[in-house]
């Protein structure tokens, strides 16, 4: 992969991530550590500052088997063809294997369902999960079946042309019918497992719209303009309206001990046909039941 630097003085790891459209900054750093990134044929460190016009060569390694096992886990497939698959992920299902979750994940399930038809962006043999949602967030998640599809979809995600819609129950009442939270998000200095609003954080924008008002709670639809870790959860908590059940940024409520947040809609341009794909899925039973209970209690 050949990239041309267009920002004088930018760190090379940031430049590779931004220009490539398919590699994260962490992935770029990993490739540099392995000697796969050069400028003018010379290997450089991740803190190297590029000059405008520099030619950056990125050699993507051959896909390696990372020892993941395919597992026959039932999937609610909303859309599938030769290039992409979209799944309605249930609450509680981890997306990627990690310490403490070596199996039983969405990746393991996709490996069983898709067989060899999976992308290997970044040099690891695993389904090309294009965007992630938290373990206890349910709803639509997209994976690519080949590298070409993954590159195209990752570029759409980076340029904000992929639309992701969520619904949630938030604590408290909103005066306005709609609004926007525009506040940068970074790792919390007090608790490294949490995210927080930070002046030096990454740009993060969430748009929200009221769908229903009830006694002490509000049903919201949220549109992501960016996709930071825990973005909707952090943004709503920052304006005094944490998501119901979010014990990390709020507290348990209405019988929920994890966030009542569902990825209800997804829109993207098909990487092969260029057709606009619009997908939706219903609210999970616990979310729908909570809404019915609130409706019986009466509006706010």
Among all residues, which ones are annotated catalytic?
A: 134
Q: How far is CA 130 from CA 140, 162, 211, 256, in A?
A: 12, 11, 28, 28
* 3-class DSSP state of 158: helix
* Beta strands in 215-260, from DSSP E residues, in sequence order: 217-224
**Chain Cα centroid distance, residue 107:** 14
Helices 25-33 & 12-20, crossing angle to 10 degrees? 120
Is 74 buried (19+), middle (13-18) or exposed (0-12) by CB count in 10 A? exposed
Nearest to 138 by CA among 86, 208, 88: 88
Cα–Cα distance between 229 and 244 in angstroms, integer? 18
Q: Which of 130, 188, 123 is nearest to 156 (CA)?
A: 130
d(Cα 92, Cα 229) in Å, to the nearest integer?
A: 17
What span, in angstroms and rounded, lies between the C-alpha atoms of 252 and 248? Answer: 9
The tokens describing 56, both together, are 């950056």
Three-state secondary-structure class, residue 239: coil
Pairwise CA distance, residues 137 & 261, whole Å: 5
Tokens of 296: 């019986």
Quote the CA–CA distance of 144 and 152 in Å, as a whole number. 9
Q: How far apart are CA 186 and CA 135, in angstroms?
A: 19
- The Cα–Cα gap between 297 and 233 comes to 26
């Amino acid at each position: 992969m050949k990239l041309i630097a267009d920002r004088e003085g930018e760190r090379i790891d940031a430049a590779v991530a931004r220009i490539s459209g398919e590699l994260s900054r962490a992935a770029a750093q990993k490739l540099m550590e392995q000697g796969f990134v050069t400028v003018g044929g010379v290997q450089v460190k991740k803190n190297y500052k590029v000059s405008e016009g520099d030619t950056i060569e990125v050699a993507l390694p051959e896909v390696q088997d990372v020892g993941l096992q395919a597992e026959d886990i039932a999937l609610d497939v909303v859309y599938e063809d030769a290039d992409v698959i979209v799944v309605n992920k249930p609450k509680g299902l981890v997306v990627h294997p990690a310490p403490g979750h070596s199996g039983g994940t969405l990746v393991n399930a996709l490996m069983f369902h898709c067989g060899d038809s999976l992308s290997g962006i970044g040099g690891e043999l695993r389904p090309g999960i294009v965007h992630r949602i938290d373990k206890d967030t349910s709803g639509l998640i997209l994976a690519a079946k080949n590298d070409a599809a993954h590159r195209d979809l990752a570029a759409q995600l980076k340029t904000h042309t992929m639309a992701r819609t969520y619904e949630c129950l938030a604590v408290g009442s909103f005066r306005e019918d709609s609004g926007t939270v525009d506040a940068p998000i970074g790792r919390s200095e007090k608790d490294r497992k949490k995210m927080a609003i930070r002046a030096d954080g990454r740009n993060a924008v969430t748009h929200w719209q009221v769908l229903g008002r009830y006694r002490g709670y509000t049903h919201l639809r949220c549109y992501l303009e960016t996709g930071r870790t825990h973005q909707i959860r952090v943004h709503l908590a920052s304006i005094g309206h944490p998501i119901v059940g979010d014990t990390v940024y709020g507290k348990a409520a209405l019988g929920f001990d994890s966030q009542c947040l569902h990825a209800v809609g997804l829109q993207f341009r098909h990487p092969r046909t260029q057709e606009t794909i619009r997908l939706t899925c219903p609210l999970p039973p616990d979310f729908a039941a909570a809404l019915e209970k609130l409706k019986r209690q009466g509006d706010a």
